[in-house]
A and B are shown apart, each in its own frame.
Chain A
Amino acid sequence: MSRTLYDKLVDAHKVCDLPDGDMLIYVDFHIMNEYTSPQAFSGLDTKGLDVWRPEAHLAVVDHVNATRSNEPHDAASKLLIDNLESNCTRHDIAFYGLGDQRQGIEHVVVPEQGLVTPGMLIACGDSHTTTYGAYGALGFGIGTSEVEHVLATQTLRYKRMKTMRVLIEGDTAPGVTAKDIIMKVVQVVGAGGANGFAVEFAGSATQNLDMAGRMTVCNMAVELGARAALIAADEITETALQGHSHSGRFTYNGESWHSDLEAVFDKEVTIAGGDIEPLITWGTSPDQSVPITAQVPVASDYVTPKAKAALARSLNYMGLTEGQSAQSIEIDTAFIGSCTNSRIEDLREAAKILTGRHVAAGVEAIVVPGSAMTRLKAEAEGLREIFEAAGFEWRPEAGCSMCLAMNDDIAMDGERVASSTNRNFEGRQGRGARTHLMSPAMVAAAAIAGHLADVRDFK
C-alpha cells in the first residue's frame, strides 16, 4: 500500500490506539523555551510526576532575552530565564542558557547541533516547530499542557491529519528566494487554508532549495494553518547532516523518508515557480501580500462587503491607502532575524545587497543572528563588517527579539518595520506597530532605499 511521507512518520511513531479515537504517538525529541514551559513543570509538581526520559529534551532561552547583551534586561525576563534553568537542573535536562556558545533561537540551534535527522518526531511549545519538516522529520508546535504531557509520558495524544501536497514546479527567477516561495503559498492557500492538514512541499523548485531555504518554507507553513510541513529527505539532506555535534550519535533509519510514487494526497495545489515574484505583505495577515512591483489592493478587488470591510480595517491599521504602490511605502525600521530568516545563508544574501551601500537617513536597521554559532561564523566570514559599514546594528546575542517583541526590542505605535520575520499581525512587533514581511535581501534593499524596494534593482 502506497503511503505519504506523513503517514510513514505517523505509523513509525504510533504507540497505541486510545479508546476515544486518538492515538498515543512517541516523541523522539522535545524542545522547550522559557515562556511556554514554566506551567508545564509546575503541572508535574502538582501531580507529583517525574520526567519520563530527561535526555530526550533540550531547553533553550530565546524568546524573552535581550540581544544587546547576555544579561536579562529586566527582572521579569530574568525570572523566566532563571525558572527554566532551575527546572532543567532539577529534572536533569540539557539547558542552553545565555552566554552558552550553543544558545540561540531554538529552531536555528537544533539543526546546527545535528539534533534533527529524517524520520524523527519532534515537538516543541512553539508553532514554528514545523521547521523540521525540511529534514523529512515530523515537527509540530504544542501548547503548554501538551509540554507537560510530553515531559511526563514522552508521548502525545494525536489525531491523524489530512494530507496536502504543494507542488512548486519549474525554476524561480533570480531574486526570488525561499521566503518568496512560501509567502506565495500562503497567499494562494490562504491563512487558514491548510487547517487540519499536514502539508508536503514537492516539485523541482522545492527540491532545488538548500537546507536553509527548505527550513524557511517549512517554518512558515504554519501561517497557512498547516500543523506539520514536510519535504522528502534526499542527497541535500544527507550532506547537511554531516559534521554536527550530535551527528552519528543517533539516526532514524529503516524507512525511505519520502512519499511513495503512488501515494494519494487529500488535496493538491500546484504553483509555477516562474510565476513567483519577490513579495511584500501590505496587511495584517501573512496571506495579504503583493509583488514588490504591484500596488496595495483596492476595495473593488473584493466582492463581499465583509471582505471590503476587512481590507479597510487592515489598511487603517497599516496606515496605507488603497492602490498605493508597494515601493512608495516608507519605512522607519529594518529588522533581519527570527527562526524564519536568521541563518548564515540569510545573512549572506542580505550582505550581498548591503556591500558598498548605506542605510537611508532616518532608518534604524538591526540584525540579530539566529544563534551564537551563526554569529561567530558570520563574523569569521567578514559579514559583520559589511552590515556595520552599511549602518546596521549588529547584535552580539541571539534570540527572537523584534519578531515578537517579547524582549526590549519593541516597535512603537505607528512605527513601520520591513521585517524578515513570519507574522504581520496587529501588535505583533509592538502595540500599533506596522510590519511588512519580506525576504532578508528585500529588507536590506528597503533599508538602503528608505522605502520598500525591489531587490532586483540592486545589482
Chain B
Amino acid sequence: MNDWQGKDGQMTKTIKGISAPLPLANVDTDVIMPKRFLITITREGLADGTFADLRFDNEGARRPDFILNKAPWTQANILVVGDNFGCGSSREHAVWGMRQLGIDACIGTSFAGIFYDNARKNGLALPIVSHQTRDLLLRFADDDNGAEIEIDLINRTITAGDIDAPFEMDPATQTALIRGRDDTLDSLEHAGAIREYEAGLKSKMRVSVIK
C-alpha cells in the first residue's frame, strides 16, 4: 500500500488541462531558459524567460507562429514534447520558469536525467509514454478545439478523447508529485543513518577541503 498522504493532507491526484504540441527533439535547457535570465539569486521572475527565444523576436514582440502564442494554446498547462526533452545544462531555472509560466506537466518519450529530477522537486510531472502514444497525443494536442486531457497520477494513465494510455513513472517520483513533500526535510529524518555511515568511514576517506 502506497503512503500518498501529504504532510498537510493535500494530494495532487490528477492534472487536467489544454495540451500544446512541441514536437522538436532535443529541446535543451538553454532553449527553455536562455542564459541572460540566469543572472539572479532568487527563483522568481522567470516566466518571461521561459522559451524566450521561441516566444519573442529580437525586438521583444511575440512570434505569432509559436504554439504557446496562439489560442487556445496560450492557456495550455500541459506540453506534449519531442524525444530527449530537457537535455544539456543542469539549470533548475528551466523548471522554475516552466512552472511560473503555468506548465504542470510535459508528456514525452524520454527526458534528460537532471531535468527529470529537477521537475520532481518542483511539482512538474513528466509522464513517459511510448512513441506511438506520444505521436497520437501530439496530433490530439494540435486539435485547435483546445480539448482537455487528463493525467491520472495515481493510476498512471492519460486520457485524451479516444486515447487512454498508460505512462511510466518511477514510484519515488510518483509519490513525491502526489504528496508534494520536501525532500530535504524528509531525508533529515534519516539523520541517524547518515551519522552511522559517516562513523564507518576511515579518516582518510573524509574529504576536508583546504580553505
Contacts and interface: CB of A to CB of B under 8 A. Distances in A.
A binds B: yes
Interface of A: 15-16, 18-22, 24, 26, 28-29, 35-36, 38-39, 42-43, 47, 49, 52-53, 55-58, 64, 76-77, 79-80, 83, 94-95, 113, 115, 120, 125-127, 141-146, 148-149, 152-155, 157, 159, 161, 191-192, 195-196, 223, 225, 227, 245-246, 249-253, 285, 306, 310, 313, 404-406, 413, 423, 425-428, 431-432
B41 A145 contact: no
Nearest to A145: B121
Given A21-B171, A58-B209, A426-B53, A191 B84 contact: yes
Contacts of B50: none
Q: List 8 tightest A-B contacts by C-beta distance, closest first.
A: A192-B84, A38-B41, A143-B118, A145-B121, A143-B92, A227-B113, A20-B172, A94-B209
B184 A148 contact: yes
B188 interface: yes
A47 B194 contact: no
B35 A404 contact: yes
A28 B97 CA distance: 31
A113 B211 CA distance: 12
20 contacts: A16-B193, A18-B172, A21-B170, A28-B207, A36-B92, A125-B90, A142-B117, A146-B117, A149-B184, A152-B188, A153-B184, A153-B188, A154-B194, A192-B25, A192-B26, A252-B205, A423-B30, A426-B31, A426-B53, A431-B58
Contacts of A313: 24
Contacts of A113: 210
Nearest to B188: A153
Contacts of A80: 39, 41
Contacts, number: 207
B89 A404 contact: yes
Interface string B159-178: 00000000000111001100
Interface in B14-67: 23-26, 28, 30-31, 34-35, 38-43, 53, 58
Interface residues of B, number: 61
A253 B202 CA distance: 10
Contact of B205 (A20, A42, A251, A405): A251
Given A20-B175, A56-B208, A145-B118, 16 more contacts: A15-B193, A15-B197, A24-B187, A28-B206, A29-B207, A77-B39, A80-B39, A94-B210, A127-B89, A127-B114, A143-B118, A146-B117, A192-B84, A225-B113, A250-B205, A423-B28
B8 interface: no
B7 interface: no
B73 interface: no
A76 B39 contact: yes
Contacts of B183: 145, 149, 157
